[in-house]
Structure 1
Amino acid sequence: MAIRCFLLPLSLLLLAASSAAAQLEIGYYSKSCPSAEAIVREEMVKIIAAAPSLAGPLLRLHFHDCFVRGCDASVLLDSTPGNTAERDAKPNKSLRGFGSVERVKGKLEAACPGVVSCADVLTLMARDAVVLARGPFWPVALGRRDGKVSDATEASHELPPAFGDVPLLAKIFASKGLDLKDLVVLSGAHTLGTAHCPSYADRLYNSSSAGEDGLVDPSLDSEYAAKLRLKCKSLDEGTGMLSEMDPGSYKTFDTSYYRHVAKRRGLFRSDAALLTDATTREYVQRVATGKFDEAFFRDFSESMIKMGNVGVLTGADGEIRKKCYVLN
């Protein structure tokens, strides 16, 4: 498998860092658990070899973690009798890969008990998922600690919605220190994975922005909409039916997502919205030419570094969980 690597200079990390993120370090575990990254990579190779379709969900787990309380592994915590956790919020009901995270964490605990945080595990797994899907490599500064709070209500309000337009999405991204370029670049993560029918069915039936037929969202290519309606037969379709977010290469990290969006074949309203803003539209159309793959890979690496620094806990804050789904 060919792997393209774009190793970014440390200066980019420092430019993207907040005061807390500045405490993160490349090689943070070099003395306390020198084999940490190798253990994660070894397990990820096995996981993705057995289930290539997990690359997208593992990347998505990291996204959904970082947008709520920062990258603190709060999305991994189970609900308790007195608290409904993030993972049980409606936008997170379709998240997958929790078992894979526990598998990797278990290997790390066996090698270095109580040393490597779940937040760092999730960040490394997301990076390796992209690399193993033939995407770019970027250095991950480590030293995150795990949060002690996980609230479903926060997840419902802070995650970028699939129906969002650019102004709404830009506002949410800005609240995390991410800009409009990060928005259009990180949307490229939709090159990996699938989506359940309810997340896009409103574009196919009784659309609030319906065209002449009174049904289909006019920002969606009609031929593509017809194919989607063969899978997703009504607004009430259950969650069992899946559609590829990047038809034809949903297990491979590449730039074909942008070609679909440019042809009005983005699955979500948030994908289609990228064509309504001059800045995001220009980026989509540029990458869609297929002539700027390496530039996109570099951009994606930089934006992932920025996102991975959002709201991190370091020093004495938080804890290092022994099991990612429960507080110590």
Structure 2
Amino acid sequence: MKKTITIILLLIIQTATYSFEDNYIFNAERIKKVFSEWEIERERNDKNYFMRLYNKEDDIFIDISNYEKGDNPEIAEKRFHKSSLNGDFKFDGNNHLSIKYLGVASKEFTKYTETEIKKKESFFFEKVKFSIVYTGTEEEYEKTLELVKEAIDPSTKVKERPKKVFKKPTEIDQIFNVKKLKREFDNTHKFVQIESGKNNDKTASYVMIFLDEEKAGLRRQIIIEDNDNFSKKVITRRRDYNLRHTKDIQGYKYIGEDKKSEKYFGVSSREYQNTYFKDEKLFDVVVMANVIVTNQYELLIINYIPEGQKEFADKQYEEYLKILNSCLRK
């Protein structure tokens, strides 16, 4: 009896899936209306129509397109599977979470990087194919599935949404006076090296300040990045993952909030500690990392504290905060 019920349920799901596949469409204008609050990162219309949509707040992007002549779901799925594996994704199998939204399970892939765990969910219907890549929660993924359903199902009414205006990327020199940073740190430290970079497709605009020579091995450093590529929530999550999973030395441990930065930047810092060098009896030092994330920029301050010098290190940390604050362009 149980076996019969299971077979009937599977037949119902398969029938519903077939119905969904036949109904889904690719309509660029409809997609743009549904995703009016997402950024269109890429768009082309040559052999087929392709769009890449990006949600900065949750760090989710969607590649969605119709098929070019001679292409079909089976061919596209095989091609996509191969390219995902070549891109260091691991195939996890079918993810059934999407069935209640789209009627079918997705093909799920996972990739582990230095800053995050990426999930890629791919779908291939008769008239439209797409993949959803996300680094956050299943809840955020499900909200995206709801939007996709609205965008590709012609029987679903499109809701009215405001169109978001996206600003041009900000260079870090527009937020901090980099020349003044160099001058102020020169006045207080024997050695200062500054590296910087502008916004591009791969990295945000940044400034990296080293306060020790390379031959010293353990180099105190301050990194400043603008927040054009990610939201405050996503940057905090990425940095937390990055510090916890540091490759060269054992991961940092989160030890709590530090309030000193509130006076200078309006937000507390997330404080991390790493005892690798002490545990391995290499050096009698503890590594401290403070992460300060505002809506405009992120600060990462890394300090090496010898045994018995915590009080001095705290004063030094506050000195860094004062200098950084004084170089903010008001």
Q: Shorter-chain-normalised TM-score: which range?
A: under 0.3
Flag the structure with higher strand content: 2
Q: From the two aligned structures, give the one with the greater helix fraction.
A: 1
Structure whose CA Rg is larger: 2
TM-score by length of 2: 0.26
What TM-score, normalized to structure 1?
Answer: 0.26
